[in-house]
C-alpha cells in the first residue's frame, strides 16, 4: 500500500512535490537538527487520491494519521484530547509551488470542552486556554465548517459590548467562556450538529477541508493566472503547537536572512513579544523590527541568528522564516527561499558569489529575467501607491510607471510637453502618426489593441510606459474626455498608469526614477560570459539604437524602414508615390524620399559602429499610409492638386478584406521594384558615405520581408544586387553586404531549403508566423485568446511566449532545412518573442545565432540567454 503520511524526520527539502514546500522544508530543518516542533505531513498523493475518489478520504489514510498522532503524543509526552496534558496541533496546507488562495492555518486543534480545562490547568492561565479554544472554534468554524466569519464576529463583538470591553484583551476568561457557548450554539444552528468534540474528528475534518481548498475558486484562479498545473495537489502539515503567547519570554515573528527590498546582508523582519502568529498579521499590535528582539529575547535572538545563518548556508539562498519563541526557547515553523525585489535579487546574488556561497552560474540563474524590467523603468513611490486604488486595468503592454495630465491627441501631447507639462496620451488606439505624441508623453494608455498593438510595440521600443487594451475605458477623442464606469475624465485631469501590471489610477502618484547598480553590471557581465546567443535590438532610429547599445545590444536585428515614412515631411512623399499613375511618377516621388532614408541609415550606422545592422525593406500594405477619413482625403487632394475622386478611388482600390494576408512585404517589391531600388540605394550609399566619413566598415544586412515563395526572394534579390552594383559603380568603391529574409510565412519554413539558396540569413518573424500558423489576427483575437486561456484551451498567449509545440516546429524545420542548403546560414529572431525568456530558451535550443528585441528588453534577453546556456548544459 502507498505511504500517505511522512513524519518530519522522514522527509527532506527535495520532496516538495510529495510533501509540499512547507512540509519539505520542515522535514529538512528537522533533519539538520534545527528546533522544529515535531509533526508530520499528509502527502499531495493523498490529496490527489481524495479528489479522484470524489472528495472521499481513502480508508488507509486516517489509519496512517493515527499512527503518526501516536508517535507525536510520545515525542511530546502529551495526549490528543487529554484533560491533563492535551496535545494541540496546527493544521496547514502546503503546496509544491507557493500558492495563495489555499486554506488558512488552523491553530490549537485538539481543544474541546475537556482539554481546554487541561490546558488551563497546565499553563495556569485560564484566560489563555479559553482564548485559544474560542480562536480554534472560530477558525475551524470558518474554514472547515464554512460558517460565515461575520457570524462569529457578531457574537464576539456582542460580548465585548455587553461587558464594555474596548480591546479583545479586556475580555476575561468568563467572557470567553460565554463566547464559546455562543459559538457552539451558532455551529449547531448552522449545521444541525454539535461542534466536533473528538480531536480525531476535528483532525479528519480539517484535513479534508485542506484537500477541498485545492479546488476552491481563488486557488483555481491563481493557478490559471500563474500557469500552475491543477494536478499537483496540496499536502497537509500537522504540527504540534508551541505558544508564543505564554508571557514575556515568549513571542513570534517572521524574518528574512537579508533585506528583500535592497538585498542588504542583515536580518530583516518583525516580531511580537507574547503573541501568536496571527496577532502579527491582525494588526492589533504593531510588530517591532527584528533587531529589537536582541534586547527583548536575547537568548532566543542569538539562537535565531545562528539558525538563520545555518539555513542560508544550507539552502544557499536568502531565507524567509517563521518562528515562535515559547518560554525563551526558539521554534522554527517555516523556512523558504525569500521573494525579493529585482534590486535585492541582484545584490544578494553578487554578494553570495563574492562570499563563495554560490558560483556565477547559480547567481545568474537566481535572477528572474522579467524582473529586470523593474530596474530599467520608473516605478511608483511605494507609499504613495498604497494610498490609491486602480479604477481600471488594461494590459501591461510596456513596463514602468507614468503620471501626468490626460491628453487625447498626439498634437496636444506635443504642445503640452513643450510647455513643460507631463502628460499621458490616451487614445482609442495609436497609429504611426501618433509617434511624436508618444515621444512627448510620459506614458500611453489605449482602450483597444493587444500586447503587440502599435502602441505596445512602439512604447516598448522607446522603453515608455504603456497600458494597452484597457477595455473599461471609452475614449471620446474629439470631445476630449474618457469614461470609466460612467464617470467622465477630461483633458487636463491627472492620471497615473502602471505599465508593469496594467493599472490605471485617477490620481497623482509620484514616480521613482530607475538607477542601475554596479552589481547589476556585474551580473550582466557574468551573463555575457556564459551565453551563446547574441543579443540584438529592434530599432528604427538612432535614439533607440543608442539606448539599446547602452543596454548591451550587439547589433540591430530589425530596423523597420516604414516607420521612417510617417514623419511629417515624408508622409506626403510616400502618399504621392502611392497615388502615382506611372512608374515614372512613382520614381519621382521615391527620389524625394531617398535623401531622408539615407540620412536615417547614416545616423543608425554611426551609432551602431561596426555592429551588424539588419534593415527590412518596406513591409506594410500601402493603404496604411493613406488618409482614412474623407476630410483628410480632401486635404490631400488639394495638397497635390489631384481630384478628390482619384484619391478616394485609390483608397478603395487598395482596400483589403484581410490586409494581414494582402499586398505587403516583398509582394510590394515584386509589384513596384522601384521601391526596393530606392531603399537599397539608401542603404548602400549611406554605408559607403559613412565608411568614407568615419572609416567604419559597415556591412548592411538587407532583409526581404514576407517571403513565402523562393522566387520572390530571387526576384527581389536581383533588384537589390543590380541596384547595389550601380551604387558601387557610382561611388567607385564597394562594400560587403548580405541579403536575407524573414521567415514569417508558414510556407517559408516548409521550403526553407529552397529559400536558403538565395538567403544568406533567416530572421524568424514569429509574430506573423504565429498569426498565420494559428490563424489568429492579433488585432482581432485578443478577446478569444483571453477566453481560451481562461477556459484552459490555451496555456499561454502565443503572442507573448512562443508556442514551441506548433510554431516552434516550423522554426525548427526552417533551421534544419536552411542549414541543409547553407550550413553557415545566419539565424536570428526578430519577433516580439525575441525578448521573452522561455522563447529565448527555445531559440538557444534550436541553435539560432541571435535574438533581437526592443532596447529595454536587451538586458533581459542577455540574462535569459545565459540562463538558457546553463539550463541546457545541465
Active site residues: 454, 830
Out of 751, 801, 846, 870, the residue judged to bind a second copy by CB under 8 A? 751
CA-to-CA separations, 170 to 120, 163, 165, 175, 285, in angstroms, rounded: 18, 9, 5, 9, 14
Out of 793, 820, 847, 872, the residue judged to bind a second copy by CB under 8 A? 793
Out of 772, 802, 825, 853, the residue judged to bind a second copy by CB under 8 A? 772
Q: Per-residue contact track with a second copy, 476 to 495, x per CB under 8 A?
A: --------------------
Q: Is 846 in the site for a second copy (CB under 8 A)?
A: no
CA-to-CA separations, 20 to 23, 685, 739, in angstroms, rounded: 5, 64, 54
Residue 481, classed as helix, strand or coil, is: strand
Task: Name the residue nearer to a second copy (CB basis): 358 or 810.
Answer: 810
- Reduced 3-state DSSP string for 376-432: HCCEECHHHHHCCCCCEECEEEECCEEEEEEECCHHHHHHHHHCCCCEEEEECCCCH
Q: Is 773 in the site for a second copy (CB under 8 A)?
A: yes
For the bound state, the minimum distance from the C-beta of residue 775 to a second copy, rounded and expressed in Å, comes to 4
Q: Per-residue contact track with a second copy, 238 to 257, x per CB under 8 A?
A: --------------------
Out of 31, 314, 421, 663, the residue judged to bind a second copy by CB under 8 A? 663
For the bound state, the minimum distance from the C-beta of residue 648 to a second copy, rounded and expressed in Å, comes to 15
Q: Is 473 in the site for a second copy (CB under 8 A)?
A: no
Task: Name the residue nearer to a second copy (CB basis): 404 or 708.
Answer: 708
Q: Is 806 in the site for a second copy (CB under 8 A)?
A: yes
Strands (E), 297-328: 319-326
CA-to-CA separations, 449 to 400, 405, 760, 778, in angstroms, rounded: 19, 22, 35, 8
Neighbouring C-beta atoms of residue 873, cutoff 10 Å: 9
For the bound state, the minimum distance from the C-beta of residue 476 to a second copy, rounded and expressed in Å, comes to 15
Q: What's the CA angle centered on 11, arms 7 and 13, to 5 degrees?
A: 140
For the bound state, the minimum distance from the C-beta of residue 788 to a second copy, rounded and expressed in Å, comes to 7
Q: Is 709 in the site for a second copy (CB under 8 A)?
A: yes
Out of 6, 152, 156, 774, the residue judged to bind a second copy by CB under 8 A? 774
Q: What is the distance between the alpha carbons of residues 652 and 644, in angstroms, rounded to a whole number?
A: 12
Out of 794, 801, 846, 870, the residue judged to bind a second copy by CB under 8 A? 794
CA-to-CA separations, 874 to 243, 840, 851, in angstroms, rounded: 45, 17, 22
Candidates 252-260, 634-642, 725-733, 800-808: pick the segment binding a second copy (CB under 8 A).
Answer: 800-808
Task: Name the residue nearer to a second copy (CB basis): 327 or 820.
Answer: 820
Backbone angles phi, psi at 288, to 5 degrees: -100, 155
Q: What is the distance between the alpha carbons of residues 34 and 26, in angstroms, rounded to a whole number?
A: 9
Task: Name the residue nearer to a second copy (CB basis): 205 or 812.
Answer: 812
Q: Is 717 in the site for a second copy (CB under 8 A)?
A: no
Task: Name the residue nearer to a second copy (CB basis): 564 or 706.
Answer: 706
For the bound state, the minimum distance from the C-beta of residue 749 to a second copy, rounded and expressed in Å, comes to 9
For the bound state, the minimum distance from the C-beta of residue 758 to a second copy, rounded and expressed in Å, comes to 13
| DSSP annotation string for 221-241 | HHHHHTT--TTS--EEEEEE-
For the bound state, the minimum distance from the C-beta of residue 783 to a second copy, rounded and expressed in Å, comes to 8
Backbone angles phi, psi at 463, to 5 degrees: 70, 25
For the bound state, the minimum distance from the C-beta of residue 764 to a second copy, rounded and expressed in Å, comes to 15
Candidates 60-68, 202-210, 641-649, 782-790: pick the segment binding a second copy (CB under 8 A).
Answer: 782-790
Backbone angles phi, psi at 138, to 5 degrees: -65, -50
Residues in the chain: 874
| DSSP annotation string for 138-175 | HHIIIIIS---HHHHHHHHHHHHHHHT-SSGGG--HHH
For the bound state, the minimum distance from the C-beta of residue 673 to a second copy, rounded and expressed in Å, comes to 10
Strands (E), 246-349: 251-256, 268-273, 288-289, 319-326, 329-337
For the bound state, the minimum distance from the C-beta of residue 806 to a second copy, rounded and expressed in Å, comes to 4
Are the CB atoms for 767 and 831 separated by under 8 Å?
Answer: yes
Q: What is the distance between the alpha carbons of residues 61 and 46, in angstroms, rounded to a whole number?
A: 7
Closest CA to 473 of 429, 411, 409: 429
Query: What letter would DSSP give residue 657?
Result: S
Q: Is 447 in the site for a second copy (CB under 8 A)?
A: no
Q: What is the distance between the alpha carbons of residues 408 and 290, in angstroms, rounded to a whole number?
A: 50
Query: What letter would DSSP give residue 291?
Result: G
Task: Name the residue nearer to a second copy (CB basis): 428 or 528.
Answer: 428
Q: Which residues contact 452 (CB under 8 A, 6 or more apart)?
A: 767, 778, 799, 832
Candidates 150-158, 160-168, 200-208, 740-748: pick the segment binding a second copy (CB under 8 A).
Answer: 740-748
Candidates 203-211, 376-384, 711-719, 857-865: pick the segment binding a second copy (CB under 8 A).
Answer: 711-719
Task: Name the residue nearer to a second copy (CB basis): 472 or 516.
Answer: 472
Q: Is 775 in the site for a second copy (CB under 8 A)?
A: yes
Closest CA to 508 of 375, 380, 376, 377: 380
Residue 211, classed as helix, strand or coil, is: helix
Task: Name the residue nearer to a second copy (CB basis): 78 or 448.
Answer: 448
Counting residues that bind a second copy (by CB under 8 A) gives 48
Task: Name the residue nearer to a second copy (CB basis): 222 or 788.
Answer: 788
Closest CA to 852 of 614, 687, 617: 614
Residues between 669 and 708 that touch a second copy (CB under 8 A): 670-671, 706, 708
Strands (E), 673-800: 701-704, 738-743, 761-764
For the bound state, the minimum distance from the C-beta of residue 798 to a second copy, rounded and expressed in Å, comes to 9
Q: Is 805 in the site for a second copy (CB under 8 A)?
A: yes
Q: Is 746 in the site for a second copy (CB under 8 A)?
A: yes
Task: Name the residue nearer to a second copy (CB basis): 658 or 824.
Answer: 658
Q: Is 787 in the site for a second copy (CB under 8 A)?
A: yes
Query: What letter would DSSP give residue 536?
Result: E
For the bound state, the minimum distance from the C-beta of residue 362 to a second copy, rounded and expressed in Å, comes to 36
Neighbouring C-beta atoms of residue 337, cutoff 10 Å: 16
For the bound state, the minimum distance from the C-beta of residue 153 to a second copy, rounded and expressed in Å, comes to 37
Residue 557's H or E segment, with its range, is strand 556-560
Task: Name the residue nearer to a second copy (CB basis): 277 or 808.
Answer: 808
Q: Per-residue contact track with a second copy, 623 to 662, x per CB under 8 A?
A: ---------------------------------xxxxxxx
Out of 421, 788, 821, 846, the residue judged to bind a second copy by CB under 8 A? 788
Candidates 121-129, 290-298, 397-405, 777-785: pick the segment binding a second copy (CB under 8 A).
Answer: 777-785
Residue keyed to cell 483589403: 656
Task: Name the residue nearer to a second copy (CB basis): 353 or 814.
Answer: 814
Q: What is the distance between the alpha carbons of residues 854 and 601, in angstroms, rounded to a whole number?
A: 18
Out of 152, 776, 842, 856, the residue judged to bind a second copy by CB under 8 A? 776
Query: What letter would DSSP give residue 193?
Result: S
Task: Name the residue nearer to a second copy (CB basis): 153 or 780.
Answer: 780
Q: Per-residue contact track with a second copy, 405 to 434, x per CB under 8 A?
A: ------------------------------
Out of 810, 827, 864, 868, the residue judged to bind a second copy by CB under 8 A? 810
**Residues binding a second copy (CB under 8 A):** 656-663, 667, 670-671, 706, 708-709, 711-712, 715, 745-747, 750-751, 754, 768, 771-777, 779-781, 783-784, 787-788, 791-794, 803, 805-807, 809-810
Amino acid at each position: 500500500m502507498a505511504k500517505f503520511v511522512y513524519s518530519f524526520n522522514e522527509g527532506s527539502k527535495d520532496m516538495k512535490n510529495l510533501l509540499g514546500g512547507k512540509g519539505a522544508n520542515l522535514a529538512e530543518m528537522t533533519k539538520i537538527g534545527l528546533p522544529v516542533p515535531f509533526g508530520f505531513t499528509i502527502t499531495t498523493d493523498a490529496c490527489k487520491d481524495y479528489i479522484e475518489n470524489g472528495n472521499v478520504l481513502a480508508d488507509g489514510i486516517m489509519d496512517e494519521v493515527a499512527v503518526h498522532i501516536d508517535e507525536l503524543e510520545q515525542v511530546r509526552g502529551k495526549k490528543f484530547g487529554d484533560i491533563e496534558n492535551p496535545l494541540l496541533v496546527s493544521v496547514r496546507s502546503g503546496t509544491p509551488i507557493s500558492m495563495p488562495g489555499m486554506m488558512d492555518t488552523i491553530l490549537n486543534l485538539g481543544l474541546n470542552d475537556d482539554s481546554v480545562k487541561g490546558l488551563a490547568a497546565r499553563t495556569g492561565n485560564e484566560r489563555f486556554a479559553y482564548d485559544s479554544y474560542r480562536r480554534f472554534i472560530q477558525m475551524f468554524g470558518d474554514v472547515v465548517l464554512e460558517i460565515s466569519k461575520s457570524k462569529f464576529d457578531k457574537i464576539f463583538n456582542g460580548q465585548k459590548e455587553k461587558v464594555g470591553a474596548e480591546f479583545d484583551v479586556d475580555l476575561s476568561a468568563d467572557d470567553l467562556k460565554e463566547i464559546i457557548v455562543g459559538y457552539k450554539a451558532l455551529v449547531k444552528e448552522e449545521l444541525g450538529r454539535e461542534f466536533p468534540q473528538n480531536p480525531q474528528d476535528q483532525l479528519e475534518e480539517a484535513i479534508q477541508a485542506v484537500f477541498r481548498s485545492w479546488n476552491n475558486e481563488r486557488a483555481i484562479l491563481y493557478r490559471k493566472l500563474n500557469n500552475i498545473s491543477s494536478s499537483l495537489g496540496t499536502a497537509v502539515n500537522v504540527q504540534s503547537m508551541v505558544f508564543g503567547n505564554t508571557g514575556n519570554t515568549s513571542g513570534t515573528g517572521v524574518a528574512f536572512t537579508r533585506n528583500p527590498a535592497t538585498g542588504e546582508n542583515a536580518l530583516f523582519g518583525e516580531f511580537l513579544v507574547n503573541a501568536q502568529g496571527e496577532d502579527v498579521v491582525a494588526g492589533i499590535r504593531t510588530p517591532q523590527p527584528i533587531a529589537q528582539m536582541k534586547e527583548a529575547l536575547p537568548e532566543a535572538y542569538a539562537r535565531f541568528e545562528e539558525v538563520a545563518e545555518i539555513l542560508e548556508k544550507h539552502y544557499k539562498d536568502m531565507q524567509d522564516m517563521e518562528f515562535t519563541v515559547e518560554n525563551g526557547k526558539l521554534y522554527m515553523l517555516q523556512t523558504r527561499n525569500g521573494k525579493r525585489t529585482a534590486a535585492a535579487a541582484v545584490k544578494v546574488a553578487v554578494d553570495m558569489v563574492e562570499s563563495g556561497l554560490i558560483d556565477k552560474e547559480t547567481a545568474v540563474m537566481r535572477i528572474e529575467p522579467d524582473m529586470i524590467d523593474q530596474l530599467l523603468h520608473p516605478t511608483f513611490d511605494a507609499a504613495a501607491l498604497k494610498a490609491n486604488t486602480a479604477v481600471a486595468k488594461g494590459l501591461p503592454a510596456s513596463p514602468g510607471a507614468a503620471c501626468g495630465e490626460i491628453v487625447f491627441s498626439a498634437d496636444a501631447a506635443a504642445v503640452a510637453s513643450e510647455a513643460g507639462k507631463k502628460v499621458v496620451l490616451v487614445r482609442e488606439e495609436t497609429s504611426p502618426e501618433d509617434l511624436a505624441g508618444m515621444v512627448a508623453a510620459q506614458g500611453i494608455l489605449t482602450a483597444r489593441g493587444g500586447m503587440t498593438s502599435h502602441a505596445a510595440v512602439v512604447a516598448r521600443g522607446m522603453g515608455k510606459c504603456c497600458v494597452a487594451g484597457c477595455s473599461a475605458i471609452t475614449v471620446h477623442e474629439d470631445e476630449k474626455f474618457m469614461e470609466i464606469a460612467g464617470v467622465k475624465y477630461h483633458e487636463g485631469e491627472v492620471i497615473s498608469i502602471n505599465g508593469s501590471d496594467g493599472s490605471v489610477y485617477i490620481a497623482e502618484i509620484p514616480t521613482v526614477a530607475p538607477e542601475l547598480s554596479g552589481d547589476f553590471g556585474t551580473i550582466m557581465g557574468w551573463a555575457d560570459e556564459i551565453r551563446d546567443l547574441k543579443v540584438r535590438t529592434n530599432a528604427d532610429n538612432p535614439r533607440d539604437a543608442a539606448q539599446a547599445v547602452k543596454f548591451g545590444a550587439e547589433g540591430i536585428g530589425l530596423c523597420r524602414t516604414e516607420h521612417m515614412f510617417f514623419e511629417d515631411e515624408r508622409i506626403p512623399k510616400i502618399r504621392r508615390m502611392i497615388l502615382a499613375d506611372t512608374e515614372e511618377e512613382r520614381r519621382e516621388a521615391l527620389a524625394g524620399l531617398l535623401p531622408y532614408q539615407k540620412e536615417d541609415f547614416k545616423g543608425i550606422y554611426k551609432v551602431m559602429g561596426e555592429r551588424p545592422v539588419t534593415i527590412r525593406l518596406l513591409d506594410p500594405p500601402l493603404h496604411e499610409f493613406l488618409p482614412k477619413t474623407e476630410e483628410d482625403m480632401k486635404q490631400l487632394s488639394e495638397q497635390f492638386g489631384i481630384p478628390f475622386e482619384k484619391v478616394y478611388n485609390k483608397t478603395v482600390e487598395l482596400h483589403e478584406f484581410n490586409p494581414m494576408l494582402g499586398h505587403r512585404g516583398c509582394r510590394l517589391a515584386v509589384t513596384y521594384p522601384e521601391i526596393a531600388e530606392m531603399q537599397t540605394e539608401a542603404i548602400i550609399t549611406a554605408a559607403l558615405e559613412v565608411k568614407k566619413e568615419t572609416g567604419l566598415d559597415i556591412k548592411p544586412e538587407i532583409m526581404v520581408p514576407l517571403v513565402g515563395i523562393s522566387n520572390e526572394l530571387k526576384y527581389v534579390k536581383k533588384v537589390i544586387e543590380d541596384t547595389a552594383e550601380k551604387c558601387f559603380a557610382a561611388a567607385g568603391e564597394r562594400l560587403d553586404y548580405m541579403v536575407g529574409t524573414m521567415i514569417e510565412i508558414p510556407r517559408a519554413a516548409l521550403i526553407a531549403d529552397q529559400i536558403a539558396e538565395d538567403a544568406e540569413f533567416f530572421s524568424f518573424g514569429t509574430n506573423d508566423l504565429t498569426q498565420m500558423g494559428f490563424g489568429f489576427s492579433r488585432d482581432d483575437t485578443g478577446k478569444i485568446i483571453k477566453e481560451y486561456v481562461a477556459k484552459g484551451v490555451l496555456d499561454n498567449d502565443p503572442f507573448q511566449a512562443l508556442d514551441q509545440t506548433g510554431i516552434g516546429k516550423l522554426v525548427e524545420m526552417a533551421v534544419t532545412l536552411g542549414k541543409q542548403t547553407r550550413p553557415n546560414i545566419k539565424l536570428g529572431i526578430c519577433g516580439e518573442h525575441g525578448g521573452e525568456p522561455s522563447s529565448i530558451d527555445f531559440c538557444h535550443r534550436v541553435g539560432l545565432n541571435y535574438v533581437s528585441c526592443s532596447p529595454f528588453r536587451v538586458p533581459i534577453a542577455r540574462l535569459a540567454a545565459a540562463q538558457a546556456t546553463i539550463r541546457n548544459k545541465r
